[in-house]
């Protein structure tokens, strides 16, 4: 069991373009996968939140994320967004790497993601809404992109305490709406 310190905004490793994984079943990948699990679980126990984590956040610059889908852990090796729907939605995003900051971002409402599991099998999933947003957030981490880079609209930053005071009642997710202009930035 290894719980890592979460790397915080300003740490250069969060800006690294992470390396593709050539062998999903290698012991080195297994160690990082286990450490992601332990670190996410520790965060959940301490703060009661946490739906996903990316390898660079624990100091491992490889293309591996762990997300929670319907209360189940899903490790994704080399995840890639291969399609996006034609609707976006606004999201007040947050991140373990800047835990007191909320950032309003615009995300695709539907995405299709291809990835391999830890046994090397290939998968493709369609995701919508909050889970689609989570996948975009975590895959961004693998390219060194953070929610603060995707800030959208006027006044997109809010400290968590102020967010709860002024925005919390409306919730984190806006309604899906047709994308007004192509946003190639969704697919890097």
Residues interacting with Zn ion, by CB under 5 A? 95
Write down the least CB distance from residue 25 to Zn ion, Å.
26
Nearer to Zn ion, 29 or 40 (CB): 40
Q: What span, in angstroms and rounded, lies between the C-alpha atoms of 162 and 92?
A: 13
Nearer to Zn ion, 13 or 179 (CB): 13
Write down the least CB distance from residue 95 to Zn ion, Å.
3
Concatenating the DSSP letter of every residue in 61-93 gives -BSEEEEEETTEEEEEEEEEEEEE-SEEEEEEE
For residue 114, give every residue at least 6 positions away whose Cβ sits within 8 Å of its Cβ, in sequence order, or none.
79, 80, 82, 122, 123, 124
For residue 78, give every residue at least 6 positions away whose Cβ sits within 8 Å of its Cβ, in sequence order, or none.
20, 21, 63, 115, 116
**Active-site residue set:** 138
Burial class (CB in 10 A: 0-12, 13-18, 19+), 12: exposed
For residue 81, give every residue at least 6 positions away whose Cβ sits within 8 Å of its Cβ, in sequence order, or none.
111, 112, 113, 135, 136, 139, 186, 187, 188
Write down the least CB distance from residue 23 to Zn ion, Å.
26
CB-closest chain residue to Zn ion = 95
Write down the least CB distance from residue 96 to Zn ion, Å.
6
Nearer to Zn ion, 95 or 108 (CB): 95
């Amino acid at each position: 069991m290894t719980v890592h310190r979460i790397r915080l905004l300003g740490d250069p490793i969060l800006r690294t373009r992470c390396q593709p994984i050539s062998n999903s079943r290698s012991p080195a990948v297994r160690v990082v996968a286990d450490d992601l699990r332990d670190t996410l679980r520790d965060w959940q126990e301490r703060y009661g939140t946490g739906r996903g984590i990316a390898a660079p956040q624990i100091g491992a610059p490889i293309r591996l994320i762990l997300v929670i889908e319907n209360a189940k852990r899903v490790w994704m090796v080399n995840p890639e967004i291969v399609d996006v729907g034609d609707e976006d939605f606004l999201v007040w995003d947050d991140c373990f790497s800047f835990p007191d900051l909320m950032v309003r971002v615009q995300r695709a409402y539907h995405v299709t993601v291809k990835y391999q599991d830890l046994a090397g099998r290939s998968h493709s999933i369609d995701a919508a809404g909050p889970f689609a947003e989570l996948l975009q957030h975590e895959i961004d981490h693998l390219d060194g992109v953070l929610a603060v880079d995707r800030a959208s609209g006027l006044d997109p930053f809010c400290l968590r305490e102020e967010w709860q005071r002024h925005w919390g009642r409306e919730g984190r997710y806006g309604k899906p709406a047709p994308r007004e202009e192509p946003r190639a930035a969704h697919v890097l």
